[in-house]
A and B are shown apart, each in its own frame.
Chain A
Protein backbone atom coordinates (compact mmCIF):
# COMPACT_ATOMS: atom_id res chain seq x y z
CA UNK A 1 0.00 0.00 0.00
CA UNK A 2 1.19 3.55 -0.70
CA UNK A 3 2.39 5.48 2.37
CA UNK A 4 -0.40 7.11 4.32
CA UNK A 5 -0.68 10.83 3.79
CA UNK A 6 -1.23 13.40 6.51
CA UNK A 7 -4.71 14.08 5.13
CA UNK A 8 -5.61 10.37 5.33
CA UNK A 9 -4.28 10.09 8.87
CA UNK A 10 -6.25 13.14 9.91
CA UNK A 11 -9.43 11.79 8.35
CA UNK A 12 -8.94 8.55 10.28
CA UNK A 13 -8.33 10.42 13.56
CA UNK A 14 -11.47 12.50 13.02
CA UNK A 15 -13.45 9.31 12.50
CA UNK A 16 -12.08 7.78 15.72
CA UNK A 17 -12.92 10.93 17.66
CA UNK A 18 -16.39 10.95 16.09
CA UNK A 19 -16.95 7.33 17.17
CA UNK A 20 -16.22 8.20 20.79
CA UNK A 21 -18.33 11.35 20.59
CA UNK A 22 -21.28 9.31 19.31
CA UNK A 23 -20.74 6.77 22.07
CA UNK A 24 -20.93 9.57 24.65
CA UNK A 25 -24.12 10.93 23.09
CA UNK A 26 -23.13 14.48 24.03
CA UNK A 27 -25.52 17.09 22.63
CA UNK A 28 -23.55 20.12 23.74
CA UNK A 29 -20.03 20.95 24.86
CA UNK A 30 -18.07 20.39 26.98
CA UNK A 31 -17.37 16.77 26.00
CA UNK A 32 -16.99 14.73 29.20
CA UNK A 33 -13.58 13.27 28.44
CA UNK A 34 -12.80 12.46 32.05
CA UNK A 35 -16.08 10.58 32.31
CA UNK A 36 -15.15 8.60 29.22
CA UNK A 37 -11.85 7.59 30.77
CA UNK A 38 -13.49 6.62 34.07
CA UNK A 39 -16.44 4.83 32.47
CA UNK A 40 -15.17 3.60 29.11
CA UNK A 41 -16.94 1.39 26.55
CA UNK A 42 -16.75 -2.24 27.68
CA UNK A 43 -14.14 -2.86 25.01
CA UNK A 44 -11.69 -0.67 26.95
CA UNK A 45 -12.56 -1.65 30.51
CA UNK A 46 -8.96 -2.63 31.25
CA UNK A 47 -7.36 0.15 29.27
CA UNK A 48 -8.76 3.46 30.47
CA UNK A 49 -8.48 5.22 33.80
CA UNK A 50 -7.40 8.47 35.42
CA UNK A 51 -4.92 8.89 38.26
CA UNK A 52 -4.18 12.31 39.73
CA UNK A 53 -0.57 12.92 40.55
CA UNK A 54 1.78 15.61 41.77
CA UNK A 55 4.38 16.28 39.12
CA UNK A 56 6.21 19.17 37.60
CA UNK A 57 7.62 17.10 34.77
CA UNK A 58 4.60 16.71 32.51
CA UNK A 59 0.91 17.61 32.31
CA UNK A 60 -0.27 14.07 31.67
CA UNK A 61 1.04 10.76 30.43
CA UNK A 62 -0.51 7.40 29.71
CA UNK A 63 1.07 4.34 31.29
CA UNK A 64 0.15 0.70 31.49
CA UNK A 65 1.75 -0.74 34.66
CA UNK A 66 2.34 -4.53 34.57
CA UNK A 67 -0.75 -6.52 35.54
CA UNK A 68 -2.78 -3.38 36.08
CA UNK A 69 -5.19 -1.43 33.89
CA UNK A 70 -3.76 1.42 31.87
CA UNK A 71 -4.34 4.95 33.15
CA UNK A 72 -3.70 8.53 32.28
CA UNK A 73 -1.57 10.02 35.05
CA UNK A 74 -2.46 13.69 35.14
CA UNK A 75 -1.06 16.58 37.12
CA UNK A 76 -3.49 17.51 39.84
CA UNK A 77 -3.00 21.28 39.61
CA UNK A 78 -3.75 21.81 35.90
CA UNK A 79 -6.41 24.40 34.97
CA UNK A 80 -9.62 22.65 33.81
CA UNK A 81 -9.17 23.39 30.09
CA UNK A 82 -5.57 22.16 30.04
CA UNK A 83 -6.54 19.09 32.02
CA UNK A 84 -9.27 18.22 29.53
CA UNK A 85 -6.93 18.66 26.57
CA UNK A 86 -4.18 16.60 28.22
CA UNK A 87 -6.62 13.78 29.04
CA UNK A 88 -8.03 13.76 25.49
CA UNK A 89 -4.52 13.72 24.03
CA UNK A 90 -3.41 10.80 26.21
CA UNK A 91 -6.63 8.97 25.44
CA UNK A 92 -5.22 8.30 21.99
CA UNK A 93 -2.25 6.47 23.53
CA UNK A 94 -4.72 4.45 25.60
CA UNK A 95 -6.65 3.55 22.42
CA UNK A 96 -3.54 2.69 20.42
CA UNK A 97 -2.06 0.38 23.04
CA UNK A 98 -5.37 -1.26 24.04
CA UNK A 99 -6.11 -4.81 22.99
CA UNK A 100 -8.68 -3.61 20.47
CA UNK A 101 -6.43 -0.82 19.21
CA UNK A 102 -3.60 -3.26 18.57
CA UNK A 103 -6.00 -5.65 16.86
CA UNK A 104 -7.19 -3.05 14.37
CA UNK A 105 -3.64 -1.94 13.59
CA UNK A 106 -3.49 1.42 15.33
CA UNK A 107 0.10 0.91 16.52
CA UNK A 108 1.60 0.70 13.04
CA UNK A 109 -0.74 3.36 11.75
CA UNK A 110 -0.40 6.12 14.33
CA UNK A 111 2.77 5.56 16.34
CA UNK A 112 5.13 7.19 13.80
CA UNK A 113 3.41 10.57 14.23
CA UNK A 114 2.05 10.13 17.72
CA UNK A 115 2.45 13.65 19.04
CA UNK A 116 0.86 15.39 16.05
CA UNK A 117 -1.83 12.72 15.88
CA UNK A 118 -2.63 12.99 19.60
CA UNK A 119 -2.98 16.77 19.51
CA UNK A 120 -5.21 16.63 16.43
CA UNK A 121 -7.33 13.82 17.90
CA UNK A 122 -7.75 15.71 21.17
CA UNK A 123 -9.00 18.85 19.44
CA UNK A 124 -11.53 16.88 17.43
CA UNK A 125 -12.72 14.85 20.40
CA UNK A 126 -13.26 17.94 22.54
CA UNK A 127 -14.80 19.96 19.72
CA UNK A 128 -16.53 17.45 17.41
CA UNK A 129 -17.47 18.75 13.98
CA UNK A 130 -21.27 18.53 14.48
CA UNK A 131 -20.99 20.67 17.61
CA UNK A 132 -18.67 23.08 15.83
CA UNK A 133 -21.25 23.38 13.04
CA UNK A 134 -24.01 24.06 15.54
CA UNK A 135 -21.81 26.64 17.24
CA UNK A 136 -21.21 28.42 13.93
CA UNK A 137 -24.94 28.34 13.09
CA UNK A 138 -25.68 30.07 16.38
CA UNK A 139 -23.34 32.84 15.29
CA UNK A 140 -20.33 31.73 17.31
CA UNK A 141 -16.95 32.99 16.19
CA UNK A 142 -13.29 32.19 16.64
CA UNK A 143 -12.96 34.20 19.84
CA UNK A 144 -15.59 32.18 21.69
CA UNK A 145 -14.45 28.63 20.83
CA UNK A 146 -12.17 28.26 23.86
CA UNK A 147 -14.89 29.14 26.33
CA UNK A 148 -17.67 27.26 24.53
CA UNK A 149 -15.74 24.00 24.26
CA UNK A 150 -13.52 24.23 27.33
CA UNK A 151 -10.32 24.30 25.31
CA UNK A 152 -7.10 26.24 25.86
CA UNK A 153 -6.97 29.33 23.64
CA UNK A 154 -4.25 28.12 21.24
CA UNK A 155 -5.95 24.79 20.62
CA UNK A 156 -9.32 26.48 20.19
CA UNK A 157 -7.97 28.77 17.47
CA UNK A 158 -6.36 25.84 15.69
CA UNK A 159 -9.61 23.91 15.89
CA UNK A 160 -11.53 26.84 14.43
CA UNK A 161 -9.16 26.97 11.47
CA UNK A 162 -9.43 23.19 10.98
CA UNK A 163 -13.21 23.41 11.02
CA UNK A 164 -13.19 26.20 8.44
CA UNK A 165 -10.92 24.11 6.20
CA UNK A 166 -13.40 21.20 6.38
CA UNK A 167 -16.30 23.33 5.12
Chain B
Protein backbone atom coordinates (compact mmCIF):
# COMPACT_ATOMS: atom_id res chain seq x y z
CA UNK B 1 0.00 0.00 0.00
CA UNK B 2 2.82 2.39 0.89
CA UNK B 3 4.59 1.72 -2.42
CA UNK B 4 1.41 2.60 -4.30
CA UNK B 5 1.16 5.81 -2.30
CA UNK B 6 4.80 6.62 -3.03
CA UNK B 7 4.29 5.93 -6.74
CA UNK B 8 1.37 8.35 -6.71
CA UNK B 9 3.43 10.98 -4.89
CA UNK B 10 6.31 10.83 -7.37
CA UNK B 11 3.90 10.74 -10.31
CA UNK B 12 2.13 13.79 -8.94
CA UNK B 13 5.37 15.66 -8.38
CA UNK B 14 6.07 15.85 -12.10
CA UNK B 15 2.94 17.82 -12.88
CA UNK B 16 2.01 19.45 -9.58
CA UNK B 17 4.35 22.20 -8.35
CA UNK B 18 2.84 22.17 -4.85
CA UNK B 19 4.68 18.91 -4.05
CA UNK B 20 8.04 20.55 -4.64
CA UNK B 21 6.94 23.71 -2.82
CA UNK B 22 5.97 21.68 0.23
CA UNK B 23 9.21 19.71 0.11
CA UNK B 24 11.26 22.91 -0.21
CA UNK B 25 9.41 24.46 2.72
CA UNK B 26 10.02 21.42 4.92
CA UNK B 27 6.31 20.57 4.91
CA UNK B 28 6.33 17.34 2.92
CA UNK B 29 4.43 15.77 5.83
CA UNK B 30 1.37 17.80 4.75
CA UNK B 31 1.48 16.16 1.32
CA UNK B 32 2.13 12.71 2.76
CA UNK B 33 -0.96 13.11 4.95
CA UNK B 34 -3.14 13.10 1.82
CA UNK B 35 -1.77 9.71 0.75
CA UNK B 36 -2.28 6.20 2.10
CA UNK B 37 0.84 5.88 4.23
CA UNK B 38 0.68 4.36 7.70
CA UNK B 39 1.30 6.92 10.48
CA UNK B 40 4.62 5.26 11.23
CA UNK B 41 5.74 5.37 7.59
CA UNK B 42 4.60 8.97 7.29
CA UNK B 43 6.77 9.87 10.28
CA UNK B 44 9.78 8.05 8.77
CA UNK B 45 9.41 9.76 5.41
CA UNK B 46 8.76 13.18 6.92
CA UNK B 47 12.04 13.01 8.80
CA UNK B 48 14.18 12.23 5.71
CA UNK B 49 16.94 14.68 4.92
CA UNK B 50 17.60 15.14 1.20
CA UNK B 51 19.18 17.80 -0.96
CA UNK B 52 16.73 17.41 -3.82
CA UNK B 53 13.29 16.02 -4.48
CA UNK B 54 14.78 13.18 -6.54
CA UNK B 55 17.06 12.24 -3.68
CA UNK B 56 14.11 12.29 -1.30
CA UNK B 57 12.14 10.05 -3.66
CA UNK B 58 14.90 7.44 -3.83
CA UNK B 59 15.45 7.45 -0.08
CA UNK B 60 11.71 7.05 0.40
CA UNK B 61 11.68 4.19 -2.11
CA UNK B 62 14.38 2.37 -0.15
CA UNK B 63 12.47 2.76 3.11
CA UNK B 64 9.13 1.69 1.68
CA UNK B 65 10.63 -1.23 -0.19
CA UNK B 66 12.43 -2.46 2.92
CA UNK B 67 9.21 -2.20 4.92
CA UNK B 68 7.22 -4.12 2.32
CA UNK B 69 9.69 -6.98 1.85
CA UNK B 70 8.31 -10.13 3.46
CA UNK B 71 10.05 -11.14 6.66
CA UNK B 72 12.20 -14.21 6.02
CA UNK B 73 11.62 -16.86 8.70
CA UNK B 74 13.91 -19.75 9.35
CA UNK B 75 11.88 -22.90 8.70
CA UNK B 76 12.96 -25.53 11.20
CA UNK B 77 11.44 -29.00 10.93
CA UNK B 78 9.21 -30.06 13.78
CA UNK B 79 10.88 -32.51 16.21
CA UNK B 80 7.80 -34.71 15.79
CA UNK B 81 8.54 -35.04 12.08
CA UNK B 82 11.85 -36.75 12.78
CA UNK B 83 10.24 -39.21 15.20
CA UNK B 84 7.50 -40.10 12.74
CA UNK B 85 10.00 -40.74 9.96
CA UNK B 86 12.06 -42.96 12.22
CA UNK B 87 8.94 -44.91 13.15
CA UNK B 88 8.10 -45.48 9.50
CA UNK B 89 11.64 -46.58 8.75
CA UNK B 90 11.42 -49.11 11.59
CA UNK B 91 8.13 -50.47 10.24
CA UNK B 92 9.59 -50.82 6.78
CA UNK B 93 12.55 -52.74 8.18
CA UNK B 94 10.27 -55.04 10.18
CA UNK B 95 8.19 -55.72 7.11
A interface residues, Cβ below 8 angstroms from B: 1, 4, 8, 11-12, 14-16, 18-20, 22-23, 41, 43, 95, 100, 103-106, 108-109
Contact = CB atoms under 8 A, between A and B. Distances in A.
Contacts of A14: 7
Contact of A104 (B11, B20, B58, B61): B20
Contacts of A19: 10-15
Interface residues of B, number: 20
Contacts of A1: 50, 55, 58-59
A137 B59 CA distance: 34
Task: Identify whether the interface residues of A are mostly helix, strand, loop, or mixed.
Answer: helix
A53 B94 CA distance: 89
9 contacts: A8-B58, A12-B10, A15-B57, A19-B14, A20-B15, A95-B14, A104-B13, A105-B51, A105-B54
B88 to A, nearest CB: 41
Contact of A100 (B7, B12, B17): B17
B52 interface: yes
Contacts of B51: 105
Contact of A108 (B10, B11, B12, B54): B54
A23 B8 CA distance: 12
Task: Identify whether the interface residues of B are mostly helix, strand, loop, or mixed.
Answer: helix
Given A8-B58, A14-B7, A15-B10, 10 more contacts: A1-B50, A1-B55, A4-B58, A12-B61, A16-B14, A19-B10, A22-B11, A100-B17, A108-B52, A108-B54
Interface in B17-66: 17, 20, 50-55, 57-59, 61-62
A12 B62 CA distance: 12
A132 to B, nearest CB: 15
Nearest to A105: B52
Contacts of B7: 14-15, 18
B15 A41 contact: yes
Contacts of B17: 43, 100
A99 to B, nearest CB: 10
Contacts of A108: 52, 54
A106 B57 CA distance: 11
Contact of A109 (B15, B20, B54, B61): B54
